[in-house]
């Protein structure tokens, strides 16, 4: 009985160690600006911008794959301006702001 408990403790400790190391090695930096931009886009997910839905467009803007919010035709001009102002004034994880046009 004691051997079984010891084996379970050792196996549990090793699994915890493996998971801890994996969480450090495979850590992905999340850019919170993507979620904020998604909330400012229309949310229609029509694909008219050329990206896979509004999330794709937000990721493209934040990654600078495009710097033009006007690719989103359904978005109103005041929303485009807000998105551009937000991205031009909010630094990402690297501490840099973007250069985005409405």
Residue numbers at the binding site for ligand SF4 (CB under 6 A):
41-42, 44-49, 51, 53-54, 57, 72-75
Least distance CB 53 / ligand SF4 (angstroms):
5
Whichever of 53 and 102 has its CB closer to ligand SF4, that residue is 53
Cβ-based neighbours of 42, under 8 Å, separated by 6 or more: 54, 72, 74, 75, 79
β-bridge partners, 79: none
Name the minimum Å distance from CB 85 to ligand SF4.
17
CA angle 94, 100, 102 (to 5 degrees): 150
Of the pair 9, 46, the CB lying nearest ligand SF4 is at 46
Cα(31)–Cα(85) distance, rounded to whole angstroms? 17
Minimum gap (Å) between residue 37 Cβ and ligand SF4 = 9
């Amino acid at each position: 009985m004691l051997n079984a408990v010891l084996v379970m403790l050792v196996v549990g400790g090793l699994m915890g160690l493996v998971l801890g190391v994996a969480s450090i090695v495979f850590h992905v930096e999340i850019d919170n600006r993507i979620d904020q931009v998604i909330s400012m886009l229309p949310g229609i997910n029509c694909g008219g911008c050329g990206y896979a839905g509004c999330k794709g467009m937000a990721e493209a803007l934040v990654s600078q794959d495009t710097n033009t919010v006007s690719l989103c035709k359904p978005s109103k001009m005041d929303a485009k301006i807000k998105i551009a102002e937000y991205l031009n004034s909010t630094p990402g994880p690297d501490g840099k702001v973007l250069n985005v046009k409405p």
